[in-house]
Amino acid sequence: MVKKLGKLLVSGAAVVAVTALSGIASAQETWPTRAIRIINPFPAGGGTDAFARPLAARLNTELGQQVLIENLGGAGGTLGASVAAKTPGNGYNWFMGAVHHTIAETLYTKLQYSLERDFLPVTVAAYVPSAVVIHPSIPAKTVKELIALEKRNPGKINFGSAGYGTTHHMNGELFNLITGTKLTHVPFKGAGPLTPALMSGEVDMAFDGMGTAAPNIKVGRLRALAVTTAKRSTLLPDVPTLQESGVNMDVTTWYALWAVKGTPKPIVDRMYAATIKVMALPEVKKVWDSLGAAPGGQSPAEMEKFVKQEIATWGKVVKASGAKVDN
């Protein structure tokens, strides 16, 4: 009787397990059945928004559900990342981060999350060059003139950033290391607030993403001295690279999509496939071209390796610069 009861219990447990697995499989097959949220850890109007919103608009159609962008700016993008890391990994919470988050891994001493532990890579959406831009009131027409001006006035020229740990910030720190300058860092809560401060002359210069900088350069509100990548930008073909200007820097800003840890792999794979399909659309390519961006598209496994490399690379820059944020 005891043996028979034991068999019944085992059999019953097996049925429950099979039923549970069947339910999970069914949920994955029908996903999504409601609105999807992508957390953008920067204020509206910045570089992340420039790519997240066109993607979300087309994913609405591709996935058959509304895809919403929620801006949660602050602390160089780490506040929104921390919130995203604590959301359920159920396929309805995603995170649109950037290279800034690989920098934060070593810059911030008390992060409330881990990029590698709490998120699952989906794909890189875009690679974007940055431009060294200055307010027209600054009397420098070239990088060489800027360096000479700063060395005559050490510490008196400042550069704005989208926050501690962003590429705006670390590009400036790297520039100081390589050139021996002492540009003073002025952080803002995202590229959105940085832009008007730069155009008004509140800050002297910035290492700004091409998406936000190019329109203001073309109408004369800002002056471009160089681009940070090894190749010139198609948006500003007459602007030299930093390397051409005598500064050995080659830095690219990138934006990427992550799932929250715990999200089932079939759902991550489906989001990856949907994102790749959307990025191939002519209207999306047109947006990327207008921002001087190159599309990403690596598989989740490839992005995982890439992110690990970026954390290690930027970790060396953070250490060399002595920069640190005790959050």
Q: How far apart are CA 104 and CA 183, in angstroms?
A: 21
pLDDT given at position 3: 53
In-domain check, residue 240: no
Closest C-alpha to 133, from 221, 249, 225, 238: 225
Rounded Cα gap, residues 325 and 320, in angstroms: 15
Domain range for 163: 129-227
Q: How far apart are CA 266 and CA 111, in angstroms?
A: 29
Q: Measure the CA–CA gap between 75 and 113, rounded to whole angstroms.
A: 13
- What CA–CA distances, in Å, run from 136 to 44, 191, 198, 222? 26, 19, 10, 6
**Residue 82's pLDDT is what?**
97
CATH of the domain at 176: 3.40.190.10
* Cβ–Cβ < 8 Å for 145, 138: no
Pull the structure tokens for residue 82.
């921390």
Same domain, 215 and 184: yes
Q: Does residue 95 share a domain with residue 138? A: no
Task: Classify residue 139: in a domain, yes or no.
Answer: yes
- Specify the length of the chain in residues: 327
The pLDDT value recorded for residue 4 is 52
The parts of the chain modelled with pLDDT lower than 70 are 1-28, 327
Output the CA–CA distances (angstroms, integers) from residue 137 to 133, 159, 205, 320, in the order listed: 12, 14, 10, 32
Model pLDDT, residue 291: 87
In the chain, how many domains are there? 2
Residue 16: what pLDDT? 45
Q: Does a structural domain hold residue 103?
A: yes
In this structure, is residue 5 part of a structural domain?
no
Supply the CATH number for residue 49's domain. Answer: 3.40.190.150
